[in-house]
Structure 1
Amino acid sequence: MSHEQHTELAKCVRCGACKAMCPTYFFTSDETMGARGRIAMLGALTENELAPTKRLSDRIFSCILCEACSGVCPVGINIPESIYQGRARLKDHYARGRLIRKTLNFSLSRMDTVFSVLRGLQKIIYPPLRKAGSLRYMPEITSKPFKDRAQVYKGAGKLGRVAIFSGCSVNYFYPHLGDALVRILLTRGYEVVVLKGEVCCGAPLRAVGF
């Protein structure tokens, strides 16, 4: 971690405001599975009071990156960014992370193919998982990604031009949200551009420590 990140972590006063917002702490009641505990452990890591072990990595990677803790820290620690920085340092000690990174490296340049295959598999995989109670909810993968609508929507165009970066979720799971956004912007008087050739923003890779 950088000197700036070390200084950032050292600001923590252990007040617990972030812990109160943390869903993984809510479900486990384990201090090391909450936002405050993770910040404390990362601080100890920078001070060489903790070693970069698999156990520590499991705790830092258990954060679901919901950012519910974002903005609640009274001393202004950027908790989500601290988690990202910690994962970058610990990624080689997280076994599942290595498999995920290899899978992502292969998949990110082949997103259409990957989601097409997954769409075929979802009818086979989802039902037994739901029946077993292992899958509460998983959105269906669409057969018509939002980016297939790539074009310039003229509309009135009086207020300016807006380009939409839809991301993988809207592209493959929630294209109706992209359609709704286009309609709203057109109604408000904007020209709308749905980008052609959009690629992954890299968020999945950053989440696993890249």
Structure 2
Amino acid sequence: GVSERAMQLLLPMLFWCALVEIAKLAVFSPVTSVTGGLSDFSRELIGTYWFIWAAFTSFLLVKLLTIFNRLSMWIICASAIAVAFVPVTLSIAPLVRFTYPFFCLGFLFAQSNEWRTSIVLAHKSLLMLLLFTATCLCFLAWGKETYAYNNFVLIYDTQSGREVLLMFAGSAAASAVAMQFVIQCWRICCSSRVARFVALELGQSTLLLYLV
């Protein structure tokens, strides 16, 4: 539910950010600079941890769209395309635009679909080879303007369109390769009680893995 996801994402983020800011205030700042510390805390909370806010916002949007039942999958696909390419100039909106399409893609792949699963399993080796090749090619073409922080996922000419397309394609391919790598590592390490405790008991309910 929404409250459970908020406890998983927002509460650990608030705790960690507050802990870091208190430590910085105690070590580097005088006691009288409490107001400045609060200002730094708000900037840190919104800026540094933007991806957590974006992930939580994406979760809320997808949760809202699932009320349409059978049409929800098509609506989620359309919303992901719209969010990715409709021009938005608000300062934090481009960061949500970068996160939301990938969140939707992950949500759609998580739904049970026998024909898709059979195709992926039947051509897994070829698919991973193509994704790895695409990742390498995108990495070679990657530049400073390809990052979401710099291009703000905005398309206003041919060059910016190329950078945004490269960003989405490279990120999607690299994410798939990284996910497969993690799955293979988990198959090797899942017999370890320590690995199972960290991944299952701690990793799914907190941000401990990110903090580490």
**Between structures 1 and 2, the one with greater strand share:** 1
Q: TM-score, with normalisation over the residues of structure 2?
A: 0.29
Q: TM-score, with normalisation over the residues of structure 1?
A: 0.29
